[in-house]
Amino acid sequence: MVEEKKQQVQGVFYTQTEEEVLSNLGTAVEGLSDAEAKKRLASYGANQLDEGKTKSLFVKFLEQFKDFMIIVLMAAAIISGFFGDVTDAVIIMLVVVVNAILGVFQEAKAEQAINALKMMSSPHARVKRDGHVVTLKSEELVPGDIILLEAGDVVPADVRFLEIASLKIEEAALTGESVPVEKSMNKIEDAEVGIGDRTNMGFMNSNVTYGRGIAVVVGTGMNTEVGKIADMLATADETKTPLQENLNQLGKYLTIAILVVAAVMFVVGINGGKEAIDMLLTSISLAVAAIPEGLPAIVTIILALGTQKMAKRNAIVRKLPAVETLGSTEIICSDKTGTLTLNQMTVEKVFVNGTLQDASEAIDTTLPIVQIMTLSNDTKISSDGSLIGDPTETAMVQFSLDKGLDVNGLNTSEPRVGEVPFDSDRKLMSTINELSTGGYQIATKGAPDELLKRCTHYVVNGEVKPMDQEMHALILATNHNLAKQALRVLAMAYRQVDAIPAEMDSEVVEQELIYAGMIGMIDPERPEAKDAVATAREAGIRPIMITGDHRDTAQAIATRLGIVEEGNDDAVITGAELNELSDEEFATAVTKYSVYARVSPEHKVRIVKAWQKKGKIVAMTGDGVNDAPALKTADIGIGMGITGTEVSKGASEMVLADDNFSTIIVAVEEGRKVFSNIQKSIQYLLSANLGEVLTLFIATMVGWTILTPVHILWINLVTDTFPAIALGLEPAEKDVMKQKPRGRNSNFFSNGVFPSIIYQGIIEGGITLGIYWWAITFPVHAGYDAAHLDASTMAFATLGLIQLFHAFNVKSIHGSLFSVGAFKNKSFNWAVLLSFVLLAATILVPGLNDAFNVAHLDSYQWLAVFVASFAIVPIVEIVKFFQRKLVK
- Report the pLDDT averaged over residues 93-102: 66
Sign, Cα dihedral of 876, 881, 886, 888: positive
pTM higher than the cut 0.75: no
Choosing among 2.60.40.10, 3.40.50.150, 3.40.1110.10, 3.30.230.10, the CATH entry for 346-522 is: 3.40.1110.10
Q: What is the pLDDT of residue 6?
A: 40
pLDDT digits (tens, 9 = 90+) for 47-73: 887 655 556 667 767 766 666 556 666
pLDDT over 90 (residue 116): no
pLDDT over 90 (residue 799): yes
Q: What CATH homologous superfamily does 321-342+526-659 map to? A: HAD superfamily/HAD-like (3.40.50.1000)
Residue of 145, 153, 335, 627 marked catalytic: 335
Identify whether 425 is a catalytic site residue.
no
pLDDT digits (tens, 9 = 90+) for 539-566: 999 999 988 788 888 898 999 999 999 8
Nearest to 75 by CA among 59, 96, 54, 106: 96
Let me know if 368 is exposed, middle or buried by CB neighbors in 10 A (0-12, 13-18, 19+): buried
Please report how many Cα atoms fall inside a 13 Å half-sphere around the Cα of residue 171, on the Cβ side: 28
Nearest to 620 by CA among 340, 336, 334: 334
- How confident is residue 158, by pLDDT bands cut at 50, 70 and 90? very high
Average pLDDT, the chain: 83
Q: What is the pLDDT of residue 235?
A: 60
pLDDT over 60 (residue 107): no
Architecture label for domain 297-314+667-887: Up-down Bundle (1.20)
CB 600 within 8 A of CB 195: yes
- How confident is residue 113, by pLDDT bands cut at 50, 70 and 90? very low
Q: How far apart are CA 829 and CA 823, in angstroms?
A: 6
Helix (H, G, I), strand (E, B), or coil: what is residue 592? helix
Q: Find the distance separating the first CA and the last CA of the chain, reported in whole Å.
A: 72
φ, ψ for residue 638, nearest 5 deg: -120, 110
CB 106 within 8 A of CB 10: no
pLDDT digits (tens, 9 = 90+) for 428-450: 999 999 998 899 999 999 999 99
Q: What is the pLDDT of residue 83?
A: 56
CB 836 within 8 A of CB 807: no
- Parallel, antiparallel, or unpaired: how do β-strands 158-170 and 181-182 relate? antiparallel
pLDDT digits (tens, 9 = 90+) for 378-425: 998 988 888 888 889 999 999 999 999 999 999 999 999 999 988 777
Q: Please state the domain extents for the chain.
A: 2-51+115-235, 57-108, 297-314+667-887, 321-342+526-659, 346-522
Let me know if 620 is exposed, middle or buried by CB neighbors in 10 A (0-12, 13-18, 19+): buried
Q: What is the pLDDT of residue 214?
A: 93
Q: What is the pLDDT of residue 514?
A: 97
pLDDT over 70 (residue 11): no
Sign, Cα dihedral of 662, 668, 669, 670: positive
Please report how many Cα atoms fall inside a 13 Å half-sphere around the Cα of residue 482, on the Cβ side: 27
**Domain 2-51+115-235's class?**
mainly beta
